[in-house]
Structures are given as C-alpha cells and as structure tokens.
Structure 1
C-alpha cells in the first residue's frame, strides 16, 4: 500500500490493474478550504484504484475524526467520520465541467496526475450529520457548555401566548361558510 500526502495520484506510468493507496488527512488539509466548517481532523483515506485503458475507478473509504462547531453551544467538539465514495475518471478531450455526474471526472489524456483533494473533502463533509451537537454523556446529559445551555433556557419559549381575539377570524370564517351553505 502506497502512503501519499499531497492528495495527487500519479497516473502517468501507472500500470493497468488494481492499486491500493492511503492518504493521511490532518489539520493542514482543512486549512486549504477557506470556508470549511471543519476546523481540525485526523483521518485516513484508503483508496482502491482500478486502472483500465479508458478509465480509472477509485473506491474510497475515509475513517477518522474531525472537529466541528456545535450548533447548540458554539463550542468545538470531535465527531467520527466514516465516509465511502466512488469516483470514475475518464480520459477524454471533454471539459470536466460538462459532466452532470459528480462521480465522474474527465481528464485530458496528457494529464499526469489526478488531484483528489476536493472529492475527499466533499465526502468528509457529506458524511457529517446535518445537525451537529455535542453527544450526550453516559448519563444522558448534554456535554454542551453549561453556561450557554442556561442562557438558551432563559430564552426558550414553551408556549405561544394567545392574543385577545386571536380566534375571532375562525368564528367569522365559520359564519361565512354557514351563510353560503344556507343559500
């Protein structure tokens, strides 16, 4: 298994067949993405590359942990990542942006390397939960910042206050319905 660090795969001179690659993903990886929601991480990307004469297939498995910001208390916490993906690379004179399929990349036959940094980042981000909050401890209590939880509790609305006459429109609507049905 080859250990690579620059997230580029040298494809010129790569013999047809199956190849196994491993990439180490650390904090520096995420700093290259300007608007990244991920602040830090330690992951390993295992890639099984199958090269044919007209295309390359990459089966990717990314495993590790990343640090994200909690949606509830705004402090960082670590969450596990277990992402899988497949990327097909076709050799063609066609421009890459003409493909409507995110799993398909076109490379010019003259290209010597395949940069997989963006697909790796995308798979990691897509594996994260939509709502990111600290997990509960073994007793079922949130591990969020207790001061922030107290502040949130102060501003939590438990019941919608009813304004006087709020249901008047319902009565008027029912009166109109009954008047129409009587005619």
Structure 2
C-alpha cells in the first residue's frame, strides 16, 4: 500500500507510504473474525523543521463481523445488512495505520534540519502568552541542545537554569547540617 491509498483517503498528513497489510479472516458459525496487521513506514512532515520524517508503523486491529437486519457498529462487532455481499475494509486499514502515528511528528534530538532550527531560534518571539511560554521554552531548549550538542567542545561550561542552582544550594546546605 503506497501513497495513492492515502491520497484516495484524503489524508493530508501522510505524504508517502510503504505499508504491508496482512488480513486474516476466520469464519466461525455466523461470525467472521478479521485480524489486520499493518507494518511498514509512512513519510510525514516534521513539525519542527518541515523536512520529511520517515515514521515506522506497526499496528494490529481485530473486529468481528456478522450479518444482521441493519448496519450497526461497536468497537468489537460490526453488523452489516444481509443484503450486502461485500465489505470495504479500506477505512479499517486507514484508521489502523493513522492511529499508529504519533500526534507529535518530530525528528529525534539532533536529527532536525540545522538551518531551519537556527532560523527558528533567530526569529522566535520575545513576548509570549503565559500558556504558550512553557511549551515554547521547552521546544527551544530541545532545539538548542540538538544543534549545539554534537559540535560543542566538552570543556565549555554549560549554562544552567538559576532555579536549579538555587535548589542545588539548598541540597548542599542541608547535607552540611
């Protein structure tokens, strides 16, 4: 299953895909047990640097299907009208693959585009709403650490948060008592 499947499903997040789907159907009495196994990779856009991000996918999904009077669905059971002689499983496959993708699409630390990270630091706002300040500070700290960590010499002193210094001082003062 590739890019065209996600284009047909109108998915804007997934830009490319190389997924394999294994569907096992077991018929017992009047119930069909469907077991999906989706494995492979999808290509997303990194939320931080906007470069391609290859995300591995491995997901399982199981549902029981049986015939009934009207269409009805729960988490474990899908009832379809007896007049239907086929079942479109593409939405089940799409949902299984989509739910396996993390909400936050970011490269591991140190893997983001360095030029974009530098631009973000350069143009970051000086005034930030209180509710966004903590998240922005965390993001910028991550970006600073991933950009400077591989290239910084070991003998350079690292700047620490003054709140941690105050806590460390309290800890050493109590140890002396």
Normalising to structure 2: TM-score of the pair? Answer: 0.65
- Residue 36 of structure 1: how far off its partner (Å): 3.3
Does 2:20 align with 1:44?
yes
Runs of 4+ off more than 6 Å: 157-160
Whether the aligned pair in 1 keeps the contact of 2:53 and 2:105 (CA below 8 Å) is no
Does 2:124 align with 1:151?
no
Does 2:82 align with 1:106?
no
> Which of 1 and 2 has greater Rg?
1
Partner of 1:116: 89
- Residue 104 of structure 1: how far off its partner (Å): 2.7
Which whole-Å CA distance do the structure 2 matches of 1:92 and 1:39 have between them? Answer: 38
- Residue 37 of structure 1: how far off its partner (Å): 1.1
- Residue 32 of structure 1: how far off its partner (Å): 0.5
1:131-150 equivalences in 2 (<5 Å): 131-136=104-109, 141=110, 143-150=111-118
Unaligned runs of 5+ in 2: 129-177
1:1-183 equivalences in 2 (<5 Å): 25-96=1-72, 99=73, 101-136=74-109, 141=110, 143-156=111-124
Which whole-Å CA distance do the structure 1 matches of 2:92 and 2:126 have between them? Answer: 43
- Residue 159 of structure 1: how far off its partner (Å): 9.8
Unaligned runs of 5+ in 1: 1-24, 161-183
CA separation of 1:108 and 1:60: change in aligned 2, threshold 3 A: same
Q: Secondary structure in 1 aligned to 2:92?
A: helix
Which whole-Å CA distance do the structure 2 matches of 1:70 and 1:48 have between them? Answer: 34
- Residue 157 of structure 1: how far off its partner (Å): 6.5
Q: How many residues align?
A: 129
Give 1 or 2: higher helix fraction: 2
Higher relative contact order (CA 8 A, sep 6+): 1
Normalising to structure 1: TM-score of the pair? Answer: 0.63
Give 1 or 2: higher strand fraction: 1
1:18-55 alpha-carbon deviations (Å, 9 max, x no partner): xxxxxxx1111111122431111011111221112322
RMSD: 2.2
